[in-house]
């Protein structure tokens, strides 16, 4: 069984980023990323901190806007428009989820598609569907595809089952796997919480992408021998023995599924590190294209 280590692949991506940043610096350009956080969600705050830290490690121009939960829709839209106009900013990311009074879809649509390094703007979604390489792909599915490529997993002609249909992971993941080219050309089935007899469908898969947001939901009965499993989930479950009182698990019951797999990602240390690495790569791409 091959353990697909996201930490190692992410470091390879970041090495490529350092090379690209040096090339841009020689031309007098420095990629800039602005991250906007509204409210005090602890997980979002930790994620924003890690993005800011990675930017500074790589030498990117990093701007962090931490706004109170009381921030209005109009105030947030005003900030987004200012960042759209700022020539030092090439990528804009508004951390999800915002407080309930914020219309997240309207905020995403307000971001300049050329600076939408999260890949959620309708124009970038359309570019992904059209296989237009100038668009931006959401960072997590892009990272999953890179993991498959780096692990030497053959997607060409493979049957991939994506469990989850979100715009953040499931739908863009399916389009990436279907697309022509490296890491694509797969036959893709998208399953979700309403799918009948899910295990019967996932057992047909050569590759399973688990992104349903339920701890250890995919069990041994869902996986055929020799399958490849990419676990996108990251969930906190209570663990009184652990120092923090909880432990992190994926959407896959790793201990029972791993022995059946040809290859599998761990949680943590699998898909997670790839998301930030691909965000850095998307920001550099935006700098090149602007």
* Residue numbers annotated as active site: 51, 95, 118
Answer whether 177's CB lies under 8 Å from 160's CB: yes
Radius of gyration of the CA atoms of the chain, in A? 19
As to burial, measured by CB atoms within 10 angstroms (0-12 exposed, 13-18 middle, 19+ buried), residue 247 is middle
Quick one: which H or E segment has residue 254? helix 254-257
Long-range contact set of residues 230-235: C-beta below 8 Å, sequence gap at least 24: 230/4, 230/144, 230/147, 230/148, 230/264, 230/265, 230/270, 230/271, 231/264, 231/265, 231/266, 231/267, 231/270, 231/271, 232/140, 232/144, 232/164, 232/169, 232/271, 233/267, 234/267, 234/268, 234/271, 234/272
The DSSP 8-state label assigned to residue 6 in this structure reads H
DSSP 164-185: ---TTTHHHHHHHHHSSSTT--
As to burial, measured by CB atoms within 10 angstroms (0-12 exposed, 13-18 middle, 19+ buried), residue 235 is middle
How far is Cα 113 from Cα 191, in angstroms, rounded to an integer? 29
Quick one: which H or E segment has residue 237? strand 235-238
Residue position matching structure tokens 């022509």: 180
């Amino acid at each position: 069984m091959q353990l697909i280590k996201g930490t190692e692949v992410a470091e390879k991506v970041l090495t490529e980023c350092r090379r690209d940043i040096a090339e841009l610096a020689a031309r007098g350009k420095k990629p800039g990323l602005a991250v906007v956080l509204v409210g005090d969600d602890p997980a979002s705050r930790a994620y924003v901190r890690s993005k800011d830290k990675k930017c500074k490690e790589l030498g990117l121009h990093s701007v962090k806007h931490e706004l109170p939960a009381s921030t209005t829709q109009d105030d947030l839209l005003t900030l987004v428009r200012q960042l759209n106009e700022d020539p030092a900013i090439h990528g804009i990311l508004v951390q999800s989820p915002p407080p309930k009074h914020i219309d997240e879809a309207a905020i995403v649509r307000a971001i300049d598609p050329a600076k939408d390094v999260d890949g959620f703007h309708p124009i970038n979604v359309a570019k992904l569907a059209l296989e237009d390489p100038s668009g931006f792909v959401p960072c997590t599915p892009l990272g999953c595809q890179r993991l498959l490529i780096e692990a030497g997993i053959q997607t060409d002609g493979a049957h991939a089952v994506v469990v989850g249909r979100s715009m953040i992971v499931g739908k863009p993941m399916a389009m990436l796997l279907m697309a022509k080219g490296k890491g694509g050309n797969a036959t893709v089935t998208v399953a979700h919480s309403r799918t009948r007899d899910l295990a019967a469908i996932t057992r047909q898969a050569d590759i399973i992408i688990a992104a349903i947001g339920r701890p250890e939901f995919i069990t041994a009965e869902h996986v055929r021998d020799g399958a490849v499993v990419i676990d996108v989930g990251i969930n906190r479950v209570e663990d009184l023995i652990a120092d923090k009182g909880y432990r992190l698990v994926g959407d896959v019951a790793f201990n029972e599924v791993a022995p059946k797999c040809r290859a599998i990602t761990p949680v943590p240390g699998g898909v997670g590190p790839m998301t930030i690495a691909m965000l850095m790569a998307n920001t550099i791409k935006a700098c090149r294209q602007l």
